[in-house]
A and B are shown apart, each in its own frame.
Chain A
Amino acid sequence: MMYIISIIKPHRLEEVRTALSAIGVEGMTVSEVKGHGRQKGHTEIYRGAEYEVSYLPKIKIELALEDKLAAKAVDAITEAGRTGQIGDGKIFVLNLDSAVRIRTGESGEEAL
């Protein structure tokens, strides 16, 4: 089992969700987050004074998937999330040791 954390641009969320649904991903957790990468945000002007916008709004999507689907999901997010501009985000893939469905107590891939 794999746990996929991806950080994407907020306005790509709908496309990414559609692409993931198309390959059979059934569940996901989405949060609004803020952060920066190599560009370290940017500067804006308010009433004549410059200020740094250090953290830009992003969307974090978390998925827990069986190994076979995980590889496809990474491709789907990469395709659907890409705009070609800086700040498109990153995908992190972790090994997942266990999972439990709280309602039934099922564990392992059964719980996904």
Chain B
Amino acid sequence: MKLYQKFTLAGMLAIAAIAGSDPAFAQASTEAPADTRYILSSLLFLMGGFLVMFMAAGFAMLEAGLVRSKNVSMQCLKNIALYSVAGLMFWVIGYNLMYDGVIADTGWMGTPTPKVIPPTDADAGSYAAGSDWFFQMVFCAATASIVSGTVAERIKFWPFIIFIAILTGVIYPIQGSWEWGAGWLNGIGFSDFAGSTLVHSTGGWAALAGAIILGARAGKYGENGRINPIPGSSIPLATLGTFILWFGWFGFNGGSQLAMGTISDVSSVSRIFVNTNLAAAAGVVVAIILTQIIYKKMDVTMALNGALAGLVSITAEPLTPSPIMAIMIGGIGGVIVVFAVPMLDKLKIDDVVGAIPVHLLAGIWGTMAVPLTNSDATFYAQAVGVIAVGIFVSVSSAIVWLILKATTGIRVSPEEELEGLDKGEIGVEAYPEFARGGSAI
């Protein structure tokens, strides 16, 4: 290690000597050519995009682990279906509704048309148009993934997919246009770097509306306010899912720098990686310590939620916090999880995977914490953004859920719920060797 440091130091001295003696070199080292910047920024979008794409796998595994074994196949099908529907809808109308033709600083929406990817020889700009579409699409899909965990184990497949199509094609892009499409929220100075509000709270509000309208799982809440825990099928899968989400988050937050063509940009991306990791780690440690103190035993699912709450908390501003502030912001995310999970149960809101504390409440906290470290942001603008997005998404989601409830119905029959959705809706069990389908006793 010491030897390596000496070499590095020697190398730096050599570079400094060359730079000092050769003005041309000094100038070249401050700015890369436009082509190089274009390539590197597109590369950031592509790398960030495939990292965030893999978060769909993280959500799938987290949810598969936290539902009972009789619903695992259905949860896996919902996850791959929602990712695919989001991918189609965000091309058909979503992207342009969010980014195209939004009136600067006052606009409320763009134009609902398919995204045109220009031919290679006309792909001008500071990055490739396809890389940008891909990067933005996977954020839209992440929003949809948040909903499926909350409403798991009792929602019908097709109404759920119709909701996801509307969420990803209309609701998410409209509220996204207000800020990332440079619309009215951007105009008042709202700040949401990678989407604590735009992605996570949006998914959380849609999930909350769904959970209330859908009702709790059979047997979850008994008489006299009794709460019956329903432990999930696989802690290893839930843990793997959380690690995959944490891994993908480096693309989520790091990629949201949106450019990698300069030393300053790369340095910012690196700072974001540091803060993102510190916040997640703090969320985990706080959740473990708090559950140990409060319940005398640690709760592994709360530790997993703590990691995600730490990540969501730092997402609104992963660049400007000092490492200590990143730890504090993420740690408070862990506190939110430990107290909000039982609170939701008291309100009889059945959130199977804890998505509402993790994505909605930690998302609000992260958004409101931005002015603590970023002097360009104001508490007023942050509050307006949180409230406006909250009202729009929860009301529009509730309307869609209620229409679906009145027409197709959104809940499986009581018998099907008890038997498990795997059997009732798709006829394939996740673990046939250990369940009814197996020939073993």
Contacts and interface: CB of A to CB of B under 8 A. Distances in A.
Q: Say which size band chain A's interface belongs to.
A: under 10
Contacts of B302: 47-48
Contact of B342 (A44, A47, A51): A47
Contacts of B315: none
B227 interface: yes
Given A51-B228, A51-B229, A46 B342 contact: no
A102 interface: no
B401 to A, nearest CB: 25
Contacts of A51: 228-229
B345 interface: yes
Contacts of B4: none
Contacts of A48: 295, 299, 302, 338, 341-342, 345
Nearest to B343: A48
Contacts of A44: 297
Contacts of A47: 229, 299, 301-302, 341-342, 345, 354
B187 interface: no
B299 A49 contact: no
B334 to A, nearest CB: 14
B427 interface: no
B231 interface: yes
Contacts of A46: 229, 231, 299, 301
A86 interface: no
Nearest to B297: A45
A54 to B, nearest CB: 12
Contacts of B231: 46
Interface in A47-101: 47-51
A77 to B, nearest CB: 26
A20 to B, nearest CB: 25
Contact of A49 (B227, B297, B338): B227
A45 B295 CA distance: 7
Q: Which 3 A-B pairs have the closest CB atoms?
A: A48-B342, A46-B229, A49-B227
Given A47-B229, A47-B354, 9 more contacts: A44-B297, A45-B295, A46-B229, A47-B301, A47-B341, A48-B295, A48-B338, A48-B341, A51-B228
30 contacts: A44-B297, A45-B229, A45-B295, A45-B297, A45-B299, A46-B229, A46-B231, A46-B299, A46-B301, A47-B229, A47-B299, A47-B302, A47-B341, A47-B342, A47-B345, A47-B354, A48-B295, A48-B299, A48-B302, A48-B338, A48-B341, A48-B342, A48-B345, A49-B227, A49-B228, A49-B229, A49-B345, A50-B229, A51-B228, A51-B229
